């Protein structure tokens, strides 16, 4: 390839995802252990279940599996969020969904930057869950002003990264050389810095307002706080974590184990306590900070609004039945509640609970007019067409809150009374977030068109 040939956003995203993974493995070696463990579990699962391997192959999910992960960052100001939107756009990552976590006691709201079309997702689905601190939820006005001033004064992007974002916007692409430089420069924004930018006293004051506020405000930038590989069997991965003595979260977030996995199941290891240096001459010049962790997830069928409403109501039933959320024999309550959620692809599809991707079989390719003559169900029962689950590419607010909480030392259970404020989030972002359901529906519709079954 010529150095001046533009690189596609998909290629830049792949380079970036690899570079982030390498950096985080150096920063948090336990993440490397987690990746090895997931590779082993996935290889064993595929060897045990050839039909799963075939299905993943048909829906383009097999090749991307080992490269697949998401990360998470937290920023402090609208300007930071808006610039991140432009940075992620260089890599074909657009904001999808609005997540309000204040209701769960975490003073942030969030979106996920990710690719949206089927080809880009097949290439590399790398996603970054991106939270914006809601400073207005700090009660102490003086502390709130301090935090705002500290954030206003910092610059989380390198001058060269900003210049390359502009270059991309003007030229409509980056050459291979520019892309390599962009990836290296973008990485600087997400690197961990063990030197706090504030005094120990300020750090302590912000920490006692909320641990998360200290994490966002006291450092040079939005360090990546975890990267999450995708496993095909999260129960096996959870057991493997425990067998290796990793301090795993007690409960797997999300739906219970099922024959047909839906949405997203996640578990994590607890955040590490890491040394931090405070500016010289401070009363205490060293301390610790707890923010960075590791996570594993299993992804399943993307649900329609109807399926999602059923999911939300069954999850609420399981959580309410025990009083205080994910404790006690929560696993049993969850399994009982989800007895009411159909667990075979045929029913899920016919009842419109999930999105499916349609493809011609060899027989269907040999006789396309036979496909077009009947209904979708006819074509499937005649063996002309297959229907495979569309993979859920997004996040779940209740699960995300559980992940946040388990990494905040467990002491922060209060909910904020604040209204969810999507308009303010979008104003800060400088754009509207994309609707996840529209994206899945389009992927399903395009597959129907491709097999000649669109009505």
> What does the binding site for ligand OOG look like in residue numbers (CB under 6 A)?
72, 74, 129, 131, 225, 266, 295, 395, 399-400, 403-404
Pairwise CA distance, residues 133 & 79, whole Å: 12
Q: State the binding partner of 392 from ligand OOG, Ni ion, none, CB within 5 to 8 A by kind.
A: none
Nearer of residues 312 and 446 to ligand OOG, judged by Cβ:
312
* Angle between helix 330-337 and helix 305-321 axes, rounded to 10 deg: 140
Nearer of residues 128 and 451 to ligand OOG, judged by Cβ:
128
The closest alpha carbon to 388, from 135, 202, 122, belongs to: 122
Q: Is beta strand 69-75 parallel, antiparallel or unpaired with respect to 127-133?
A: parallel
* Burial class for 48, CB neighbours closer than 10 Å (0-12, 13-18, 19+): exposed
Which H helix or E strand runs over 24? helix 9-27
Q: State the binding partner of 241 from Ni ion, ligand OOG, none, CB within 5 to 8 A by kind.
A: none
- Is there a contact between 223 and 73 (Cβ–Cβ < 8 Å)? yes
How would you list the strands of the sheet with 127-133, edge to edge?
94-100, 108-114, 127-133, 69-75, 226-229
- Residue 429 corresponds to which tokens in the numbers above? 């972002």
Nearer of residues 400 and 433 to ligand OOG, judged by Cβ:
400
Judged by CB under 5 A, which stretch of 276-284, 288-296, 360-368, 369-377 contacts Ni ion?
Answer: 288-296
Q: Is 295 in the site for Ni ion (CB under 5 A)?
A: yes
Nearer of residues 55 and 434 to ligand OOG, judged by Cβ:
434
Closest CB 313 distance from ligand OOG, rounded Å: 20
Pairwise CA distance, residues 270 & 272, whole Å: 6
Nearer of residues 67 and 180 to ligand OOG, judged by Cβ:
67
Helices assigned H by DSSP within 200-324: 200-209, 211-217, 234-243, 305-321
- Residue 156 corresponds to which tokens in the numbers above? 């989380």
Each residue 189-228 as x (binds Ni ion by CB under 5 A) or -, in order, gives ---------------------------------------x
Nearer of residues 133 and 264 to Ni ion, judged by Cβ:
264
Strands (E), 160-293: 174-175, 226-229, 264-269, 273-277, 286-290
Residue of minimal CB distance from ligand OOG? 400
> In the range 81-100, which residues lie near Ni ion by CB under 5 A?
none
Q: State the binding partner of 131 from Ni ion, ligand OOG, none, CB within 5 to 8 A by kind.
A: ligand OOG
Give me the DSSP letters along 382-399.
TTSEEEEEPBP-S--HHH
Closest CB 213 distance from ligand OOG, rounded Å: 13
Collapsing DSSP to helix, strand or coil, 99 comes out as strand
Pairwise CA distance, residues 94 & 111, whole Å: 9
Nearer of residues 9 and 397 to ligand OOG, judged by Cβ:
397
The closest alpha carbon to 376, from 389, 357, 395, belongs to: 357
Pairwise CA distance, residues 263 & 260, whole Å: 10
Residues that bind Ni ion (rule: CB under 5 A) add up to a total of 2
Nearer of residues 299 and 333 to Ni ion, judged by Cβ:
299
Nearer of residues 125 and 364 to ligand OOG, judged by Cβ:
125
Closest CB 104 distance from ligand OOG, rounded Å: 11
Q: State the binding partner of 232 from Ni ion, ligand OOG, none, CB within 5 to 8 A by kind.
A: none
Q: State the binding partner of 318 from ligand OOG, Ni ion, none, CB within 5 to 8 A by kind.
A: none
Closest CB 72 distance from ligand OOG, rounded Å: 4
Q: Is 388 in the site for Ni ion (CB under 5 A)?
A: no
CA-based R_g, the chain, Å = 23
> In the range 224-253, which residues lie near Ni ion by CB under 5 A?
228
Closest CB 129 distance from ligand OOG, rounded Å: 4
Binding residues (CB under 5 A) for Ni ion: these are 228, 295
């Amino acid at each position: 390839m010529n150095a001046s040939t533009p690189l596609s956003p998909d290629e830049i995203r792949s380079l970036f995802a690899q570079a982030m993974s390498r950096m985080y493995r150096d920063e948090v070696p336990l993440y490397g252990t987690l990746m090895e463990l997931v590779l082993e579990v996935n290889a064993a699962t595929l060897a045990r279940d050839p039909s799963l391997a075939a299905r993943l192959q048909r829906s383009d999910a097999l090749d991307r599996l080992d490269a697949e992960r998401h990360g998470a960052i937290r920023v402090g100001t609208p300007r930071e969020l808006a610039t991140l939107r432009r940075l992620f756009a260089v890599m074909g990552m657009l904001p999808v969904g609005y997540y309000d976590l204040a209701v769960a006691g975490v003073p942030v709201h969030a979106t996920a930057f990710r690719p949206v079309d089927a080809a880009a997702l097949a290439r590399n689905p790398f996603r970054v869950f991106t939270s914006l601190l809601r400073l207005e939820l700090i009660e102490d006005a003086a502390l709130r002003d301090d935090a705002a001033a500290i954030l206003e004064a910092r610059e989380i992007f390198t001058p060269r990264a900003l210049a390359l974002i502009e270059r991309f916007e003007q030229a409509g692409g980056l050459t291979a050389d520019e892309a390599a430089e962009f990836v290296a420069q973008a990485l600087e924004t997400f690197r961990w810095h063990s030197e706090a930018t504030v005094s120990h006293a300020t750090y302590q004051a912000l920490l006692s307002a909320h641990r998360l506020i200290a994490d966002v405000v006291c450092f040079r930038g939005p360090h990546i706080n975890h990267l999450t590989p995708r496993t095909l069997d999260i129960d096996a991965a959870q057991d493997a974590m425990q067998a290796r003595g990793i301090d795993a979260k007690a409960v797997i977030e999300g739906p219970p184990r099922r024959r047909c996995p839906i949405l997203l199941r996640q578990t994590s290891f607890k955040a590490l306590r890491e040394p931090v240096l405070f500016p010289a001459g401070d009363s205490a010049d060293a301390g610790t900070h707890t923010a960075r962790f590791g996570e594993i997830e299993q992804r399943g069928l993307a649900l329609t609004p109807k399926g999602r409403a059923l999911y939300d109501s069954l999850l609420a039933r399981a959580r309410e039945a025990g009083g205080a959320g994910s404790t006690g024999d929560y696993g049993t309550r969850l399994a009982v509640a989800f007895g009411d959620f159909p667990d075979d692809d045929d029913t899920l599809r016919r009842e419109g609970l999930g999105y499916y991707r349609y493809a011609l079989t060899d027989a269907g390719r040999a006789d396309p007019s036979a496909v077009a003559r009947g209904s979708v169900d006819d074509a499937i029962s005649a063996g002309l067409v297959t229907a495979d689950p569309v993979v859920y590419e997004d996040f779940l607010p209740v699960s995300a809150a559980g992940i946040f909480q388990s990494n905040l030392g467990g002491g922060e259970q209060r909910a904020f009374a604040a209204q969810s404020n999507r308009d303010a989030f979008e104003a800060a972002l400088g754009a509207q977030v994309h609707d996840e359901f529209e994206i899945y529906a389009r992927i399903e519709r395009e597959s129907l068109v491709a097999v000649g079954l669109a009505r």
